[in-house]
Structure 1
Amino acid sequence: MTQLEAAKQGIITEEMHQVAEDEHIDAEKIREGVEAGHIVIPANKNHRSLHAYGIGEGLRTKMNVNLGVSKDCHDYSVEQEKARLAWRMKAEAIMDLSCYGKTAGFRHWLIENSPAAIGTVPMYDVDGALGKALKDMTADDLFQVVEQHAKDGVDFMTIHAGINREVAGHVMRNKRITNLVSRGGSILFAWMMIKGKENPFYEQYDRLLDICRTYDVTISLGDACRSGCGHDSTDAIQIAELITLGELVVRARKAGVQVMVEGPGHMPLNDIRMNVEVAKKLCHGAPLYVLGPIVTDVAPGYDHITAAIGGTLSAACGADFLCYVTPAEHLRLPDIQDVHEGIVASKIACHAADIVKKVPGAAQWDEEMSWARRRVDFKRMIPLAIDPEKAKAYRESSQPQEEQTCTMCGPKCPMKTLDSILNNRNTDEDPYLK
């Protein structure tokens, strides 16, 4: 029985109890959200090390960390180091986007060790797993890889089922600057063009649902047609695919399979609210997983910032799950420092949005930091920081003469000044106020 099937039968699963405890929400509310399809709990039956997290309406905004090897960078020890960093920084999900060679060993290691949910894009693994060129791949080949990932214990899979032949026609007729920037989507588009056939994941969607139901894999309906630059945002191609995804959401829920929907990539800031609202409307309130959005195309090296800006607004408007972006986006495979910076930027975006959404405990965290600042209590401030190690390093790198100040204000610290004045302390004790 899947999480969705259990919820429909009025059963509160162990995973639902875990989510309720983490979120400080009644477990029955979690069950109701799962039943409605507005919350998903990616939890493959074969992922034994998992700490279950909920994604969706009324919950904390969650974050995904991408990692994995490529043809040019395929040192799995580096990717393991990135995964350990993600776990230490409490990322709720990790996607293995490895697209070169035999990936199974690393995937098995992740699933065996990860408390975070593990996601994959099976299309990335088809050539490495089967040793076939794209023109030689059959529909059965594609489903074979999907089923293997499910058996291995993958909690959620990005499946680009929405780019069918009808949507592909929109791609041909509506010219873009960047065409399709989704790696998985572009591979399926090419397969359809080479073969002259329908997308197998759309044509045999019930077959996909059977696999996912067997292992309780959450489908993340991929946005093959997301915009790859601001110019292409919110066009006919993107909307046509989104309509199809909404239809697939309904079919997945009827089959007892949890489903979320992936959102747009690049777009101007003023397009974000509309896109979130349209996606939620057309996809029947399914949890929305956004890739960015990246709000300007001219900041390579700083795209963790452009994505955090877009991610904050999209989550504040109702998106539920942010995919982190690193400073290396568009330039190279990220290194460990890039991953660290991407995680911090995304965590800031998630938390800033949670304050807007009035998620339980979000504002309280900020208030605790505010009281520590009022008391000029650095020993309390640093552990409360999103990145305590960096906060500590900055504090220790420039020490003031007086411990309860910093080298920005020194004795002119406004917190100390107002504390003395408002509490009627003897100003003669403070050299600055004499």
Structure 2
Amino acid sequence: MEKNYTTQMDAARKNIITPQMEEVLKQENISKEFLLENVAAGRIVIPANRSHSGLKASGIGNGLTTKINVNLGVSKDVCSFSGEMVKADLAVKHGAHAVMDLSVSGNTEQFRKRLIAELPLVLGTVPIYDTLTRTKKEVRDITVDDWFETVETHAANGVDFITIHAGLTRKAISSLKKAGRLCGIVSRGGAILVEWMEKNGLENPFYTHFDRLLEICRARDVCISLGDGLRPGAIHDSTDGPQIQELITLGELTRYAWEQDVQVMIEGPGHVPLHEIAMNMQLQKKLCHGAPFYVLGPLVTDIAPGYDHITAAIGGAMAAMNGADFLCYVTPAEHLRLPTLADVKEGIMAARIAAHTGDIAKGIKTSGHRDNIMSRARGTLDWGGQFNTAIDPEKAREYRTSSLPSHEDVCTMCGDFCAVKRMENLL
């Protein structure tokens, strides 16, 4: 039987519970009424392309657990699609909710189709990158049709959400030139668009032809992740005029997309000092009318290359506590190289810890239940229970078995001085 709705938002506005909504309801402690109300209003998105048949849908937004995304993809220097596929499998194994393919070399469409066919996770892409790879043209020579043909290809392939830097207008670029930033533009998609706009003397094609973008996305229910081309790449640049100028435009475009029943997320910074994170979350929610917020980190200091999964986890936990809905993982390799498999796992775990920490702080129901199970296991020296409850059971077991005590009920940190063992009979 043919569906009588176009997008998840359209279905919610018609009071229809879709199969994807049923999947979300199994994962979250919310009612059908709450889900319908928030999807209809745009405060929750369920990225689910009509052509992505094997998808395990996830909800992102108000009142839901914080989700995490894993970036992967090949470059010209490291072009192993099989290696990136192993990273995608790691994302599934270690509890990510989405994967973004950021490939900028090789047969990207073939890899994209394989990801869609084999992974149950939500898949996102950045068509701006792929336009250069697909057409093999210089940036100046890309046509408006070239940009949109790539979007149409990604939508037809089954991509669930696409990052589009539609708020990066000439007005915002003018603001950037006067801002005195230390790091200018750090968004790859943003830099490509600015180069195109400056060399051709034209406005952002995705802003000018936003209706065309909405038509493509509505036809296949592709969620638009409105990209932050002017996100700060240094804590010095955080919350400056260009960032806010773009955010205001993204809020205007969000309302326009909702009028066409198109789902929208907003992407956010970037590099933000700890004391500005709450303000940034509140600004986004206010200016973008409660649309789900997708943040990269944010990284709270600039001096930790090799440890940026930690700086991002600190910022991510704070961001989630204050309203961020979707965290993009950051690996130890950020700013340095394409991440290895070990880097990917470290990034996933750091992001998951940040998301879980944020959920406890913002009062998501049952979010602390697993912590209580762990605490009971620790309080009874139940090592098996601790391993089974741990976010990374493999690593917990590995650490335990690498240094076994003379008495198996304690560990080599305390031994006979173990407080729990000493108190188990007295208390």
Aligned 1:53-72 pairs, distance under 5 A: 53-72=58-77
Structure 1 spans left out of the alignment, 5+ residues:
423-434
Matched residue of 2:181: which SS? Answer: coil
Pairing partner for 2:247 from 242, 246, 258: 242
Distance 2:119 2:38 in 1: 25
Q: Which moved more, 1:97-106 or 1:196-205?
A: 97-106
Determine the C-alpha separation between the residues in 2 that align with 1:211 and 1:327: 36
Aligned match of 1:22 = 27
The reply to whether residue 360 of structure 1 matches residue 365 of structure 2 is: yes
Of residues 180, 185, 191 in structure 2, which corresponds to 1:180? 185
Match of 2:120 among 115, 118, 128: 115
Q: Which runs of 4+ in 1 moved over 3 A?
A: none
The yes-or-no answer on 1:147 pairing with 2:170 is no
- Residue equivalent to 1:428: none
Report the AA paired with residue 410 of structure 1: G
| Aligned counterpart for 1:257 among listed residues 258, 262, 273 | 262
Q: Distance in 1 between matches of 2:34 and 2:289?
A: 18
Give the distance between the partners of 1:192 and 1:181, measured in 2 at CA.
17
Kindly, what percent of the aligned residue pairs are identical?
A: 55
- Aligned match of 1:426: none
Alignment of 1:16-415 (within 5 A): 16-415=21-420
Query: Residues of 2 paired with 1:164 and 1:31: CA distance?
Result: 34
State the number of aligned residues: 422
**Gap runs ≥5 in structure 2:** 1-5
Q: Which has the larger radius of gyration?
A: 1
When normalised by structure 1's length, the TM-score is 0.96
| CA–CA distance in structure 2, aligned partners of residues 195 and 353 of structure 1 | 44
* Paired letter, 2:172: V
Structure 1 residue 4 and structure 2 residue 9: aligned? yes
Distance in 1 between the 2:367 and 2:247 partners?
Answer: 31
Distance 1:180 1:101 in 2: 26
RMSD: 0.7
Displacement after TM superposition at 1:24 (Å): 2.5
User: What do residues 285-324 of structure 1 show as CA deviations (whole Å, max 9, x unaligned)?
Assistant: 0000001100000000000000000000000000000000
Distance, in Å, in 2 between the alignment partners of 1:223 and 1:6 is 28
- What's the offset of the Cα at 1:27? 2.0
Return the offset for 1:174.
1.9
Secondary structure of the structure 2 residue equivalent to 1:420: coil
Q: 1:273 corresponds to which letter in structure 2?
A: A
Question: In structure 2, what is the equivalent of residue 425 of structure 1?
Answer: none
Work out the CA distance in 1 between the residues paired with 2:221 and 2:170: 28
- Give 3-state SS (helix, strand or coil) of 1:421's partner: coil
Residue 289 of structure 1 aligns to a residue in which SS? strand
Partner of 1:419: 424
Q: Distance in 1 between matches of 2:160 and 2:141?
A: 29
Query: Which whole-Å deviations, capped at 9, do the CAs of 1:183-202 have from their partners, x for residues lacking one?
Result: 00110000000110011100
Alignment check: 8 A CA contact 1:126 1:141 kept: yes
Instruction: State whether residues 43 and 52 of structure 1, in contact with CA within 8 Å, keep that contact through their aligned partners in structure 2.
Output: yes
**SS at the partner of 1:87?**
helix
TM-score, normalising length: structure 2: 0.98
Quick check: 1:164–1:199 contact (8 Å CA) kept in 2? yes
- Tell me if structure 2 keeps the 8 A contact 1:12–1:28: no
Please tell me whether the aligned partners of residues 263 and 288 of structure 1 are also in contact (alpha carbons under 8 angstroms). yes
Does the Cα contact within 8 Å between 1:192 and 1:199 map onto a contact in 2? yes
Deviation of 1:102 (Å):
2.5
User: For the Cα contact (< 8 Å) 2:140–2:195, is it kept in 1?
Assistant: no
Deviations 1:309-359 (A, max 9, x none): 000000000000000000000000001000000000000000001111221
AA partner of residue 2 (structure 1): T
User: What residue identity is the alignment partner of 1:200?
Assistant: P
Aligned-partner Cα distance in 2 for 1:235–1:26? 39
Residues 157-201 of structure 1: CA deviation (Å, up to 9, x unaligned): 000000011111111222211100000011000000011001110
